[in-house]
Amino acid sequence: MRSLRRFLLISLLAVLMLSNFVAALHGYRASMAKAEQLLDDKLFDMAGHFLAMPLPDGASPPVDEQLQAFQIIDDQGQLRWRSVQMPATALQLPDGFSEDNVGGYRWRMLQRRGGEPQRTVIVAERLDLRYQLAENVIMESVVPVLLVVPIVGLLVWLIVGRGLSSLTRLATLLRGKRSDDFSPVRVARAPEELQPVLDSINQLLQRLDAAFERERRFSADAAHELRTPISAIQIHLHNLRAELSAPSESLECLSMDVARLAHLVEQLLLLHRSDPEHYPRQWETIDLAALAREVSSACFTDIDARQQQLSLQGEASIQGDRFALGILVENLLRNANKYSPPGAHIDVLIRDTDDGACLCVEDSGPGIPEAQLARVRERFYRVGGDRHQSGQSGCGLGLSIVEHIAQLHGAALRLENRAEGGLRVCVQFAAETNGRREADAPGSH
C-alpha cells in the first residue's frame, strides 16, 4: 500500500473492529449462558409451584401462554391439568431438563415428581422465543459498534495525520532544497522515530557535499596545472615554426589543436571561477553600454576578420561585478561572431525598463534548432558536436559560464530564435535584485 496514512487507518480500524467483535462475541455467549440459567431457574420455580398447589380436578385452565406450557399428571398416569399448547395425552419424558417437539415447535422441558398427593409436573418453554431473545441481545451489542466506526475512523485519520506531520515537513524541506544546497536538514519538534532518518539524510548530504567539492577542486586544479605546460608548448611551437625553412602542415594542425586545448583550459577555469558559490563578488555600478563598448573593442579584430557588422543600442546601469559581466558579454559576442556567417549582423541591445535592465545579443546566423535550445546550456554540449556547420571549434562551455554569471547577479538567461532568422540571447536583470545589490554595494548605507 503506497499511502502510509491509509495503511495505518485501515490497519487500526481492522484491529479495532476485530477486538470489538471478539469482545461482543464473548459478551454474547456469557449473556446467553446467564439468560438460559435464569430461564431454567424460572421453569424450575414454575414446576415447584405446580407441585405445591392442590391437585386439580382435570379441567384445563383458560390460559394461552405463548412462552410457557405445562402438564400435571397424577400417580396413576392420568393427565389432570395442561395448558392449551400441550397435547391431550401425557408426555413421556425423563426427569430433569430435555428438549422435544410439540405442536410444531421445539420446546425446552423440565419434568419433576413430588407433591401431596404424588404427581408429575412437566413445564416447557419455546426455544424459538429464546433464540429471538438472543438475536435481540446480539443486535443491541453490534449496532452501537457499527454506528461509531465512521467517527472512530475520522479520529484515527486525524490522529495519524498529526503523527505524520513531521514527515510532511521533512518532505517540504527536501522539495524546496536547491540542487547545490547540501546544508543539514532540520525539522522542528521531530519525533524520536524520525531522528535516525534525519541523521541518515544529513550524513548523505555531507558525503555528497564532500564529493562535489572534490570534483570541483579537481577540475579547477587540473585546469590550472595545465596552463603552464600548454604555454610552454605554444612557445616551443613558435620557436619551431621559426626554425623550419618551409611551412609544415602538421605543425599548423598541431598549433591549432594546442590553441584549442588552451581555450578549453581557460574556459574550465572561468567556469570554476564564475561558480556563484565561490566567486568573490565585488559589486559596483556598471554602465552596461560602456562595458559592451569596451568588450566589443577587444573582440573587434575577430568580428572585422569575418566582415560582420556590429551595432550597439540603448543604455542602462546595474549593480554587478565588472569582471564577471565583462566575461558574460565577451562570451555572447564571441559566440555570435563564431557561429554567424561572414557578413552577418550582430546587434547588442540594452533596455532599461520597470522590470529591470535587459541585455540582448542578436545575430543573423542560422540560429539553433528548437529541440536543442534547452540543451545548449549543458556543459560540453555543442550543436552538431565537433561537426558544427560553421566549422568553428569550441568546447561547449561558453553558455554555461554565462548562466553562472547570470545566476551570480540574480538574472534570467533566455535563448530564442528570431522570426527573421538568427539567435537572440538575453540576460534579464531583476529590478528588485538591483535594489538589493545597491544595498550590498561597498560604501552604500
Residues 6+ apart with CB under 8 A from 111: 47, 93, 94, 95, 96, 98, 120, 121, 122
| pLDDT higher than threshold 80 for residue 358 | yes
* Residues paired with residue 349 on neighbouring β-strands, in sequence order: 313, 360
pTM of the model: 0.51
Using pLDDT thresholds of 50, 70 and 90, give the confidence band for residue 34.
confident
pLDDT in tens, 245-283: 777 788 888 888 888 888 777 777 777 777 776 667 778
pLDDT of residue 61: 54
pLDDT at res. 278 = 64
Q: Tell which wins on pLDDT, 206 or 142.
A: 206
Length of the chain: 445
Q: What is the pLDDT of residue 218?
A: 76
Please give the full DSSP string across 273-308, using - where no structure is assigned.
HT-TTT----EEEEEHHHHHHHHHHHHHHHHHHTT-
Beta bridge partner(s), residue 99: 108
pLDDT reported for residue 329 = 93
Tens digit of each residue's pLDDT (9 = 90 or more) over 280-318:
777 889 999 999 999 999 888 989 998 999 999 999 999
Alpha helix locations (H) across 164-287?
165-176, 195-243, 249-273
The fraction of the chain above a pLDDT of 90, given in percent, is 20
332 band by pLDDT with thresholds 50, 70 and 90: very high
Q: What is the pLDDT of residue 436?
A: 46
List, in order, residues 6 or more apart from 116 with CB less than 8 Å away: none
Distances (CA, A) of 280 to 109, 254, 286, 318, 372: 104, 36, 17, 18, 33
pLDDT grade, residue 242 (50/70/90)?
A: confident
Per-residue model confidence (pLDDT) at position 121: 92
Give pLDDT tens digits for 76-98: 888 888 888 888 888 888 999 99
**Are the beta carbons of 343 and 367 closer than 8 angstroms?**
no
Across residues 67-80, what is the average pLDDT?
Answer: 83
Residue 295: per-residue pLDDT: 92
Give residue-wise pLDDT tens across range 203-236: 999 998 888 888 777 766 777 777 788 888 888 8
Residue located via cell numbers 623550419: 244
In this prediction, residue 438 carries a pLDDT of 45
CB 433 within 8 A of CB 410: yes
The average pLDDT across 43-51 equals: 89
Mean pLDDT on 5-30: 81
Single out the residue of 220, 252, 223 nearest to residue 237, CA to CA. 252
Region of poorest pLDDT, from 18-27, 238-247, 274-283, 392-401: 274-283
